[in-house]
A and B are shown apart, each in its own frame.
Chain A
Amino acid sequence: MSQNKVFTVLIVDDEPPAREVIRSFLERHSTLKVVGECSNGFEALKAIQEKTPDLLFLDVQMPKVSGLELLEVLDEVPVVIFSTAYDQYALKAFEMSAVDYLLKPYSQERFDKAIEKVLDQLHSGSKTNTKEVIQNRLDASNDFIDRIVVKTGNKMHVIPTGKVRFIEASEDYVMIYGEKSRHLKSQTMRYYENHLDPGNFVRIHRSYIVNVNFVERLEPYDKDTYVAIMTEGQRLKISRTGYRKLKETLNF
């Protein structure tokens, strides 16, 4: 019978007692089998790639890479039950979407309800759109971001925004140029334009957002357009509106 199908579960939380609660609450659910526990996003990425769990228990607040940032870089997002003690932006994001979330501390009853919901999803194969949660979370926050989490192969990197040289549009993706590396990420130029500190980042062209701290000089390109020469030598075209914005930011 399909109702007895066993699904695999991965628990991700940086606090051991919090993982223990989940483990013990799961004892009642024989169709769910824990295949691993991770205490941070880096371990989680590896475990998700190796074990491809059906269900993810995910703490929002973790060191260096938050639960949502982890999901952001996953190619294939499993069904997720989020948990958080208190993160007003995340809460807002959860409320705006159909995903289930647990507020710590929670009861076995509440936990069972969440499990019931996700089992329905797992059986029917109709996952709620977790990407929507992430986008909601991002939109809910008006703060400027201070890091960008990227993935290359099976490794995750955290780039502080201060080290980002520039961001280039690349069809449905953006290419983020860091200190010595570049990373493709599925995100929009518009998002970065709105969430990077405008004192440092300027959209100089449809295809480029630059960190002005890494612009070495401007050179004329043709009659009335310019190119930005970056400290590492790249030459980036500047549109006319881009030049005006750059002028405002740099005060020249």
Chain B
Amino acid sequence: MLHPILVQKKLLYAFLAGWCTLFLVHTIFLTHQNLLPFNEAIIDAFIYNFILMIIGLALYFPLTYSEYNTRQSSLNKVFIIHLLHHTITGLFTLIIWLGSSFFLAKLVFENNPQYMDFARSSLPVRAALGSLLLLLLIFMYHFISFYQNLEEKSRREEQLKKMVKEAELKALKAQLNPHFLFNSLNSISSLTISKPEAARQMLTQLSDFLRYSLRRNHQSFLPLNDEITNMKRYLDIEKVRFGERLISKFDIPEECLNMPVPAMLLQPVYENAIKHGLYESIEPVTIQTTCRIYQNGLRLSIVNNFDPDSTRQKGEGVGLENIRNKLYLFYNRKDLISISKEEDYFEVSFILPKTH
């Protein structure tokens, strides 16, 4: 936690200029009103203003400290706690300031009874003016911290936007995964010879699949049904390529189908299952999708078996990391996805809380 005034040069200069003005006004006022001779007025102004400036700078820390500690509580409570905390801190500061300034001045003007009389009689006025100044400082600090929070918030939003954009781009790239695309086109080419009807159907499926991911707004919610339909398209295309090597099973009750889920959430999971399960295995691979209503939201699990002897390819974590980020963007939680890897099967499960 850095002091905002000491960190920002502009702010520091403004702050110092403010105190210089105060110092000058103080000196001129005392001499002009014939309250003190010029020399004594300057020293008096210097002592009182300098000490208040230092204490004022230090005041920032107890103020922000209280802010850090009360972030979790309710608004009303926070207000009262802040008010109390600020009043006490303010009073305490005032006493320290007056006490130390008075004491220092006394050391300097020990043999000057005229000054000491003035110092004593002016204490209430000084206290009042000091309180005003402290109040001003507290307001200023609050303003700074409010402004900083605002900046941080917009920075975080910027970051989130960037993450969404990146996720979109990655999803798009995955769609246009040349290996998938060209092999699918090759399958279509094959079907045109033997089964033109099936070729037409696969072509439509491939188009629908690509269109879905190009058109969908990646930041919105969609009914689970839309997502599942698209994943079935994807799996059907892969089934044409790999025949009996790919088996897919869906266990999704009717009542789950209309529940909203983040768009394009599931695709990386199936892609992983295909890439690390199917592409690397000689034996058949089954992808089992199960969905249930869970605490008014959904619980979804996708399990696939894989060949434990196959050497693992790189890049396994990227797709799942994207999902984790996406869930965080949509639900602001990081505990919604769990991944488990056993001897020969891989499971990704989600909890998708109820949304408002």
Contact = CB atoms under 8 A, between A and B. Distances in A.
Interface of A: 14-18, 20-21, 24, 39-40, 42, 61, 63-64, 85-87, 103-106, 143, 146-147, 158, 160-161
Contacts of B282: 39-40, 42, 63-64
Contacts of A14: 242, 245
Contacts of A161: 311
Contact of B186 (A40, A104, A147): A104
A75 to B, nearest CB: 23
19 contacts: A14-B242, A14-B245, A16-B243, A17-B186, A18-B187, A20-B193, A40-B282, A64-B280, A85-B178, A85-B179, A85-B183, A103-B182, A104-B185, A105-B188, A146-B311, A146-B312, A146-B314, A158-B310, A161-B311
Nearest to B241: A15
Contacts of A20: 190, 193-194
Interface of B: 178-179, 181-183, 185-191, 193-194, 240-243, 245, 279-282, 307, 309-314
Q: Which 7 pairs from chain A and chain B are nearest by CB?
A: A85-B182, A17-B190, A104-B186, A105-B189, A86-B178, A147-B311, A17-B187
- For A40, A61, A104, A143, the residue with the greatest tally of chain B CB atoms inside 10 Å of its CB is A104
B281 A63 contact: yes
Contacts of B240: 17
A15 B242 CA distance: 5
Given A16-B243, A85-B178, 18 more contacts: A15-B183, A15-B187, A16-B242, A17-B241, A20-B193, A24-B193, A42-B282, A63-B279, A63-B280, A63-B281, A64-B282, A64-B310, A85-B181, A85-B183, A85-B186, A86-B179, A104-B189, A146-B313
Nearest to B278: A63
Nearest to B199: A17
B183 to A, nearest CB: 4
Contact of A104 (B183, B193, B309, B312): B183
Given A61-B179, A63-B310, A105 B186 contact: yes
Contacts of B307: 63-64
A21 B191 CA distance: 8
Contacts of B181: 85
Contacts of B245: 14
Nearest to B312: A146
Contacts of B279: 61, 63
Given A40-B282, A42-B282, A18 B193 contact: no
B242 A104 contact: no
Contacts of A160: 311
Contacts of B311: 64, 146-147, 158, 160-161
A68 to B, nearest CB: 15
A147 B313 CA distance: 10
A130 B314 CA distance: 28
- For B191, B282, B309, B313, the residue with the greatest tally of chain A CB atoms inside 10 Å of its CB is B282
